């Protein structure tokens, strides 16, 4: 195959995945490795790296390495670690869902943070950076993707605009804002910020040798796992929506303008000259799983006629509380009256989740985003034909196939953008 190849690497909570992609977006190789294959502590950065090595070697064995021209990395948003000047981790990382318990740190942030910032809350990257700045010998506080990319590039001084957002980065003015210093954080500990898809450096010579790659391979700025998953689908125009039907219902919409609605937890990532806005409901697959097993859902779904509505108005939740498209910690579940037929009960819940999805995209449009014009779907629920038909009836837009369900494919798309920037495509 005499064509440039780009590699995307996705580091998730359980392991690493890699894909090799051509300039026509064809995926020609895939590989994966589990963190558990190398140890028992998913917080150990050395396990992260060993899983990345294994996934990368897995795909390199399937292609001609001489044609690999670029690598980009995505990883979990909000996972941070402190490193010394050589990039050596100095403390256990704080993962994406870890909360900072030091009330004084949170108070310092709350006193100065703008309402529209994505750095609110105990799990924010900013709160974690404030904790890590007291680690002896710390030279930089990095996001997970920064550290992996830094291993390839041979330096640890750069992040991307998407990973930086929850650490307080101002995506509109494109800089670390002045108010961050007022929290007491030493700004010099934060990496410089570039757009996803920006060429960072050619691969470090020792890395090129270790993987049998050319020293001309470009290391490209990556993104978060969520943004990479969106890119992987092939959505690329304002109004393109991607819904993830997993344990929760997550909506993402490509917009020509930023949408910030802190009352709904909505903020926007810069992505390929546009903006990615979205929100997450507490409804979703976990509600279905509360009542039915996976086998029962499959069996009952086969009995559903999506074109005949139940006439019920369900809002499927396991307990009180909703965050999007309404924000109300006391928002009640609506699951009554329960039909005597289990297939009808499942159908009413699927209708209810579809109604929440429609309200979510309508909410984004009310806030200034373009109206939904197309839909691509991810997650286990996307494979349920009855649910898909109900959603098609409710949303009323074309449903398009996702190019890939792999976040690593989104990272590979960024690697191709970087190759185009340096004239290698």
- pLDDT tens column, 188-232: 999 999 999 999 999 999 999 999 999 999 999 999 999 999 999
* 362 and 385 assigned to the same domain: yes
**Is position 401 within any domain?**
no
**Is position 400 within any domain?**
no
Give the pLDDT of residue 388.
98
* 250 and 314 assigned to the same domain: yes
101-150 pLDDT tens trace: 999 999 999 999 999 999 998 999 999 999 999 999 999 999 999 999 99
**Is position 402 within any domain?**
no
Cα(190)–Cα(139) distance, integer angstroms: 9
Average pLDDT of the chain to the nearest whole number:
96
CATH number, residue 215 = 3.30.420.40
* 248 and 193 assigned to the same domain: no
**Is position 125 within any domain?**
yes
Give the pLDDT of residue 265.
78
* Average confidence (pLDDT) over 339-355: 98
274-312 pLDDT tens trace: 999 998 999 999 999 999 999 999 999 999 999 999 999
Domain that holds residue 255: 235-395
**Is position 43 within any domain?**
yes
**Is position 57 within any domain?**
yes
**Is position 13 within any domain?**
yes
Give the pLDDT of residue 352.
98
Give the pLDDT of residue 1.
60
| Whether this model's pTM surpasses 0.85 | yes
* 49 and 133 assigned to the same domain: yes
* 213 and 250 assigned to the same domain: no
* 175 and 247 assigned to the same domain: no
Give the pLDDT of residue 327.
87
* 95 and 52 assigned to the same domain: yes
* 25 and 149 assigned to the same domain: yes
* 119 and 84 assigned to the same domain: yes
* 178 and 294 assigned to the same domain: no
* 217 and 348 assigned to the same domain: no
Q: For the chain, how many structural domains are there in total?
A: 2
**Higher per-residue pLDDT: 13 or 71:** 71
**Is position 149 within any domain?**
yes
* 104 and 206 assigned to the same domain: yes
| Residue percentage of the chain with pLDDT more than 70 | 100
32 has pLDDT over 70: yes
């Amino acid at each position: 195959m005499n064509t440039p190849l780009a590699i995307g690497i996705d580091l998730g909570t359980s392991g690493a995945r890699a894909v090799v992609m051509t300039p026509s977006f064809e995926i020609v190789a895939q590989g994966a490795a589990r963190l558990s294959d190398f140890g028992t502590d998913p917080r150990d950065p050395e396990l992260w790296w060993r899983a990345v090595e294994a996934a990368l070697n897995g795909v390199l064995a399937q292609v001609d390495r001489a044609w690999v021209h670029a690598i980009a990395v995505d990883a979990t948003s909000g996972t941070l670690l402190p490193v010394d000047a050589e990039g050596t981790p100095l403390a256990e990382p704080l993962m994406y869902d870890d909360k900072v318990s030091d009330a004084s740190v949170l108070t310092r942030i709350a006193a100065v943070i703008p309402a529209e910032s994505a750095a609110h809350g105990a799990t924010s990257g900013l709160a974690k950076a404030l904790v890590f700045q007291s680690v002896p010998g710390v030279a930089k506080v990095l996001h997970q993707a920064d550290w992996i990319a830094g291993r390839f590039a041979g330096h640890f001084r750069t992040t991307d605009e998407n990973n930086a957002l929850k650490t307080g980065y101002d995506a509109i003015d494109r800089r670390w804002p002045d108010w961050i210093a007022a929290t007491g954080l030493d700004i010099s500990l934060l990496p410089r910020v570039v757009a996803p898809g920006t060429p960072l450096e050619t691969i470090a010579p020792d890395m090129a040798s270790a993987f049998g790659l050319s020293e001309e391979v470009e290391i490209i700025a990556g993104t978060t796992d969520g943004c990479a998953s969106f890119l992987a689908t092939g959505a690329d125009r304002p109004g393109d929506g991607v819904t993830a039907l997993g344990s929760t219902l997550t909506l993402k919409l490509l917009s020509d303008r930023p949408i910030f609605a802190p009352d709904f937890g909505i903020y926007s990532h810069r992505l390929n000259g546009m903006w990615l806005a979205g929100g997450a409901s507490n409804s979703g697959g976990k509600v279905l799983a509360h009542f039915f097993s996976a086998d029962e859902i499959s069996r009952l779904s086969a009995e559903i006629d999506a074109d005949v509505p139940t006439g019920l108005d369900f809002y499927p939740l396991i307990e009180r509380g909703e965050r999007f498209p309404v924000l109300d910690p006391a928002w009640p579940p609506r699951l009554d009256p329960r039909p005597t037929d289990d297939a009808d009960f499942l159908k009413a819940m699927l209708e209810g989740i579809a109604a929440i999805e429609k309200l979510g995209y309508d909410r984004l449009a009310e806030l200034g985003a373009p109206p939904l014009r197309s839909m691509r779907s991810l997650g286990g629920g996307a494979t349920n034909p009855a649910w898909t038909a109900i959603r098609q009836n409710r949303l009323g837009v074309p449903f398009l196939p996702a190019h890939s369900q792999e976040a690593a494919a989104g990272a590979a798309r960024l690697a191709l953008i970087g190759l185009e920037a340096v004239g290698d495509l």
